[in-house]
Amino acid sequence: MRPSCTKSACILARTLSLLYVYELKGNNMKNLLLGTLLVVICHSANAYISGIAIQTDKSSNMQVYVNGKLFNKQPGNFVRIKSKPGLFHVKVKVLNPYDNIYYIVKKDIRVEKGYEFFYRMVFQKGQKPRIQEIRRYPVYSKYFLNPVLYNRHPTA
């Protein structure tokens, strides 16, 4: 794994690669392949995996929708979603153990690169359930992200 580039450097590289593809003349396959390779390399720079984990009590079940897509067809009490970083619109259909009514709880969650965010459904008597962030765990160890580990030069 290599560390990702900064945001401004990545934007600059994408712009240069798109300009290069735009400047292609004729059907020169070598130039087209080189331009495509530049675009793919820039997109893989933000390839850190991230995730969301949502848990309920053992006595209640839930179904989780992320950006309109159902993630668990069988209702359960724990769901883990692995994805790229970004903003997610999470909708949870959950059974409240106090009054045995299904509620739909919505929350927008911003996920940062390299972290898994852990959420829990909080139930209170007489109130609608809510999603509460518990903590966030790093997906990658800082030790393995050190580029010196992968340098095989004898003087390093």
Vertex 97: Cα angle to 91 and 102 (nearest 5): 40
Please state which CATH number belongs to domain 50-138: 2.60.40
Confidence of residue 15 (pLDDT cuts 50, 70, 90): low
- Please state, in angstroms and rounded to a whole number, the distance separating the CA atoms of residues 99 and 125: 8
Angle at CA 16, nearest 5°, toward 14 and 17? 65
Residue 32 pLDDT level (bands cut at 50, 70, 90): low
- Which residue do the tokens 């010196």 mark? 148
For β-strands 69-70 and 62-66, DSSP reports them as: antiparallel
Most confident of 36-40, 57-61, 145-149: 57-61
Q: What is the pLDDT of residue 2?
A: 38
pLDDT level of residue 107 (50, 70, 90 thresholds): very high
The tens digit of pLDDT for each residue in 77-93 reads: 999 999 888 999 999 99
Q: Look at residue 94 and tell me whether its pLDDT is greater than 90.
A: yes
> What does each C-alpha distance from 13 to 24, 73, 114, 130 come to in angstroms?
17, 41, 22, 42
pLDDT of residue 54: 94
Alpha carbon distance 13, 99 (integer Å): 55
Q: What is the dihedral of CA 142, 144, 145, 148, to 10 degrees?
A: 120
pLDDT band at 67 (very low <50, low <70, confident <90, very high): very high
Helix (H) or strand (E) holding 19: helix 7-22
As a whole number, mean pLDDT of residues 35-46 equals 61
Q: Is the pTM of this model over 0.95?
A: no
* Per-residue pLDDT, 139: 81
Lowest mean pLDDT among 23-32, 66-75, 141-150: 23-32
Gap between the Cα atoms of 34 and 6, Å rounded: 22
